Each structure stands twice: as structure tokens, then as C-alpha cells.
Amino acid sequence: MNQTTLKLYTLRNIEQLPQYQQLEPEAKEALRVVAHILPFRVNNYVAENLIDWNNIPNDPIYQLTFMQKGMLDESHYNLMKTALSDSGQTEGDLAATIFKIRNELNPHPAGQLSSNVPSFEDRPVPGVQHKYKQTALVFPSAGQQCHSYCTFCFRWPQFIGENDLKFATDQQMTYLKYLKEHEELTDVLFTGGDPMVMNSKLLQKYLEPLLSPEYNHIQNIRIGSKSLSYWPQRFVSDKDSQEVLDLFKRVNDSGKQLAFMAHINHINEMQTDIFQEAIHNIRQTGTQIRTQAPLLRHINDDSAMWAKMWKEQVRLGMIPYYFFIERDTGPKNYFSLPLAKTWEIYKNALQEVSGLARTVRGPSMSAHPGKVAIEGMNVINGEKVFVLTLLQARNPDHIKKPFLAKYDENAVWFDELVPAFGESKFFFEK
């Protein structure tokens, strides 16, 4: 396989991307304005192989990677556009406008910064979130980027260079001490950004310590990544691809499970030869690949596409795992769908696939109480309700207990729902 070099395009050099020249002036303006607020990055593989440039602006991968005007509300858009075209603005003025708009986009939903960060010897452990008993998230400091950025990304504050908004491990790797002490943990999930942007040496620095006996309680090591879609070369033709695959094999040979959590939004990400080759190579190491993605208006709000995608994932040996609802942050107004519609798309897709693809759980909202799943809708004593459960909760006793919210045809997020039958609180709030 020939080596392809990763070439990254951002606002600074996007004019060098040949296809950029064919965009309409309005599309170029939208990209420039919105990309001052939200992170923009696309690479040569995505631009050349995944985007259908004859289908602009509706192409799902174009919507997934290129900013659109509607991703900011009109007042924010106009504020930013005016600031950029006003030559009287200093760098400082611009930065203040950008900062103000970003802060109005709910950069840290569901208590991210405050309620999930654990401590060790009375100090916060940098780069760790431990919300659910069995699973800790680790954010490697060198993995806080991706091979391209998704326009909807709920982790967008990780990429905009404001350190106080970032999660990342420290030099001393304090997180290891925390993981060692917490024997209730069975799973560690490396996330970001994308841990697969790290070279094999760095990856090894994060994975290998967990293979020693002090970490016997950790059975499953997960890597959350979009590299299969955005840079499958990582597992096929990069300089250190073989080292990466060898490392994966060493983890599995040690008796632990390496689980690769692949983020795949659309079936168009799955159709290149190199994507399928990457899956083959990862599976050869004994690594199981599970898939997850949020539902997004403009990108994948189509149950037939989901059904086709899940079937194709099963055909390629992957296990559909989570169907998420886009979080209430950043450009959520552009992407969100009513919960009622979301449930319908999920259910209709599920009906089209066999049991092997019905492993996918959801539709799930990562909200303050935990992962809230919509189980369905019903009418009880004349009142229309949503039936909900918690798939994950801080308190394991709360999991899988059905509860009811008053039906609301426009609600797009959990905090817009109220308990059914005039009750004042949901059971877990009592």
C-alpha cells in the first residue's frame, strides 16, 4: 500500500484545497465566519474520498466537516461577520467578540467541568472523568485533536486553545495513581479528541502501564476514535501502522479486551477500500470494534440510512453500540431533532435489521442524571407520555427503572421535559 501523507486544512490554508475554489461565495463566507467560533479542520483523505463535491451543500460529509451559516444563530453570525469586516477592530476586540459568543454556546453541558472530575490525595486528577462506577474516561494530553473536526462536535471547547476549557492528563500521569486505587473500575476509555492521533510510542505510554498486575481490576481498555472514518491509513499505511497493530495485539494477548469504539455518522464513511482494510487489520489483532454516533439533522436524519449502515457494520464484523442524541451545546440548533422524531427514526431503523444489529442502545441523552434513553411513547389514563430509562447513572440503583415524562412534541433535550401526571420530580431527583 502506498503511503499517503496526512495534509490538514484549516482556515489558514483552505484556499489550497482545489475543491474549495468551486464553493459559492456565501459558502466561503459562512465557513470563514463560523470557523472563528467553532473548530474547523478537514484533511486530504476526507476531502478527496468522502465528500461528493457534486452534491454541495447537501452532501452529508460536507455538512459533517464544513461550517454552514445556520450553525450559529443569526445574531451571533452577524456579530462575528461585522467584527471580521470592520478594519477598525484590534486583535483584542476580535478575541473578545469570539470569547463572548463561545461562552453563550454552553461550552460545558451536563456539569462536565465540575461534577465528574475525581481527586487523588485531595487534588483534582487532570484529564480524568469518573461519572459511572465501572468506567473512567481518560483524556491523553497528546490526543486532544482529531484527523478532521466534526461541525457538531460536543467536545469543541477542547480544540479552541483555551486551556481552562480543556481536559488533559498531566506530565506526571497522576491518572494512573487514581486508576490503581479505584478497584471498582473495570473499564478505562481513552478519549479526546482522538487518541489515535498519537504516534505508536505515545499510545504505548498510555496503554502499556495498564497491563501490569496493579491494574488487574481493569478488564477492558477502550479507545474512542473517529480515525477509521477520517484516517484509516492509521491502521494500514502510516509509518508506524504495524507498531500500532502490534500494540493492540499485545493488549489482547495479555488477557484484557481492547475495544475500539468507532464513531461513524454516515454510511458514506464506510465505502473506501482502505476503510475496509483498516477494519480487517484491527480485527486481526483480536480487537472488537463497536460503533456509535449521534443523530444529526442535515447529516443522518434518515432511518433507512441507519438501517443500511448498521447492516453494513455487522457485515464487516462491527457491533452497533450507541445511538446518541446530540448534546445541548455549540451548534445544537442546527442539528437537533425533536425527541419524538428521534425515537421514530431509531425505531424504524431497528425494525429493518436483524437481532445482531439490535445491540444498538438509545436514543440516549448524556444529561446531568446520566444516560437517559427514550424507550417509547404511550398514553396512560388519557395522558400522552414518554417512557424513559437511565442506561447509565451515577447511582447504579437507578439504572433501567422506567419513568415517565409528559409528552412534548417539540422538546429536543432532557431538561425540557417534566414528570408526567403533575409530579414535581423524577424518581432520581427525590
Ligand X SMILES: *Cc1c(COP(=O)(O)O)cnc(C)c1O
Binding ligand X (rule: CB under 6 A), the pick from 77, 366, 369, 405 is 366
DSSP 299-316: TS--HHHHHHHHHHHHHT
Question: In the 8-state DSSP scheme, what is residue 256?
Answer: P
Contact between 61 and ligand SF4 per CB under 6 A:
no
| Residue 63 binds which of ligand X, ligand SF4, none (CB < 5-8 A, kind-dependent) | none
Site for ligand X in 258-287 (CB under 6 A): none
Site for ligand X in 174-233 (CB under 6 A): 187, 189
- Which span (111-119, 189-197, 204-212, 333-341) binds ligand SF4, by CB under 6 A? 189-197
| Residue 193 binds which of ligand X, ligand SF4, none (CB < 5-8 A, kind-dependent) | ligand SF4
Contact between 327 and ligand X per CB under 6 A:
no
Backbone dihedral angles phi then psi of residue 252, each to the nearest 5 degrees: -65, -40
Binding ligand X (rule: CB under 6 A), the pick from 231, 392, 404, 420 is 392
Smallest gap, in angstroms, from Cβ of residue 240 to ligand X? 28
Name all contacts of 374-381 with Cβ < 8 Å and 24+ positions apart. Answer: 374/339, 374/342, 374/343, 374/346, 375/402, 376/343, 376/347, 377/340, 377/343, 377/407, 380/404, 380/420, 381/421
| Residue 131 binds which of ligand X, ligand SF4, none (CB < 5-8 A, kind-dependent) | ligand X
Helices (H) and strands (E) in the chain, counts: 14, 15
Contact between 193 and ligand SF4 per CB under 6 A:
yes
User: Are 139 and 192 a contacting pair, CB within 8 Å?
Assistant: yes
- Which span (146-154, 247-255, 321-329, 386-394) binds ligand SF4, by CB under 6 A? 146-154
Give the x/- contact pattern for ligand SF4 in 215-254, rule: CB under 6 A: -----------x----------------------------
Binding ligand SF4 (rule: CB under 6 A), the pick from 9, 20, 149, 275 is 149
Total residues contacting ligand SF4 (rule CB under 6 A)?
10
Beta carbon nearer to ligand X, 151 or 392: 392
Query: Locate cell 395522558: which residue?
Result: 383
Beta bridge partners of 188: 136, 221
Q: Per the structure block, which three cell numbers stand in for 375?
A: 424507550
Contact between 65 and ligand X per CB under 6 A:
no
Beta carbon nearer to ligand X, 48 or 375: 375
Distance CA 165, CA 99 (A): 12
Smallest gap, in angstroms, from Cβ of residue 403 to ligand SF4? 29
| Residue 146 binds which of ligand SF4, ligand X, none (CB < 5-8 A, kind-dependent) | ligand SF4
Beta carbon nearer to ligand X, 132 or 386: 132
Give the x/- contact pattern for ligand X in 123-162, rule: CB under 6 A: ------x-xx--x-x-------------------------
Contact between 153 and ligand SF4 per CB under 6 A:
yes
User: Are 362 and 373 a contacting pair, CB within 8 Å?
Assistant: yes
Smallest gap, in angstroms, from Cβ of residue 189 to ligand X? 6
Contact between 166 and ligand SF4 per CB under 6 A:
no
202 alpha carbon, distance to own chain's centre:
22
Distance CA 352, CA 358 (A): 10
Smallest gap, in angstroms, from Cβ of residue 152 to ligand SF4? 7
Contact between 290 and ligand X per CB under 6 A:
no
Q: Show the CA angle centred on residue 429, arms to residues 425 and 430, nearest 5°.
A: 80
Contact between 43 and ligand X per CB under 6 A:
no
Tell whether the torsion through CA atoms of 201, 202, 207 and 208 is positive or negative. Answer: positive
Distance CA 269, CA 232 (A): 10
Residues near 283 by beta carbon (within 8 Å), at least 6 away in sequence:
289, 317
Label the pairing between strands 128-132 and 403-406. Answer: unpaired
Tell whether the torsion through CA atoms of 70, 76, 80 and 86 is positive or negative. Answer: positive
Smallest gap, in angstroms, from Cβ of residue 194 to ligand SF4? 5
User: Are 283 and 317 a contacting pair, CB within 8 Å?
Assistant: yes
Could you list the residues that contact ligand SF4 (CB under 6 A)? 146, 149-150, 153, 155, 192-194, 226, 263
Could you list the residues that contact ligand X (CB under 6 A)? 129, 131-132, 135, 137, 187, 189, 366, 371, 392
